[in-house]
């Protein structure tokens, strides 16, 4: 599936829920399937700055695809990073760098996060793209 196809699937899944409490329940569920970062990578350097809770993110290349793993100390933050990993993991660096991620607005995620949290979301996306750029140069 392309990134856009995965985004479309997420938009459809979120459309089922009317109430934002239900959408949060879904986000929390997604967090439970988060590909967890290895303990060795849970370092100070891998903490994403700009989030109100602690979010650790790691990326590595497998064949020519970028694979992300992460963890967070807050459950909702864990769900949100899981959502982003769902869409961006196992893609080429180019695809990640060029991803527009329109699903974030389409499901209304941005407006339902407090500004600091939405900054956290922005910081997560930025960090994932930085990894893609770095891994792209390394090849």
Write out the residues near another protein by the rule CB under 8 A: 20-21, 24-25, 28, 52-53, 73-77, 112-114, 117
For another protein, the closer CB: 63 or 111: 111
CB 128 within 8 Å of CB 68: yes
What minimum distance in Å lies between the beta carbon of 8 and another protein?
25
Residue 31, CA distances (Å) to 65, 92, 111, 123, 138 in order: 22, 23, 20, 18, 30
Task: At 28, list the tokens.
Answer: 């929390």
Indicate which residue of 27, 30, 48, 51 is catalytic: 51
What minimum distance in Å lies between the beta carbon of 77 and another protein?
7
Please indicate whether residue 51 is annotated as part of the active site. yes
Radius of gyration, alpha carbons of the chain: 14
What minimum distance in Å lies between the beta carbon of 15 and another protein?
17
Q: Which residues are catalytic?
A: 51
């Amino acid at each position: 599936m392309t990134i856009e196809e995965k985004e479309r699937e997420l938009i459809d899944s979120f459309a089922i829920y009317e109430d934002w409490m239900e959408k949060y329940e879904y986000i929390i569920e997604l967090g439970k399937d988060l590909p967890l970062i290895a303990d060795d990578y849970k370092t100070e350097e891998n903490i994403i700055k700009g989030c109100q809770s602690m979010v650790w993110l790691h990326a590595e290349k497998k064949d020519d695809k970028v694979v992300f793993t992460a963890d967070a100390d807050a459950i909702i933050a864990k769900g949100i990073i899981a959502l982003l990993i769902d869409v961006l993991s196992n893609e080429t660096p180019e695809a990640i760098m060029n991803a527009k991620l329109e699903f974030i607005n389409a499901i209304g995620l941005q407006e339902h996060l407090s500004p600091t949290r939405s900054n956290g979301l922005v910081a997560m996306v930025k960090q994932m793209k930085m990894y893609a750029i770095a891994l792209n140069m390394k090849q």
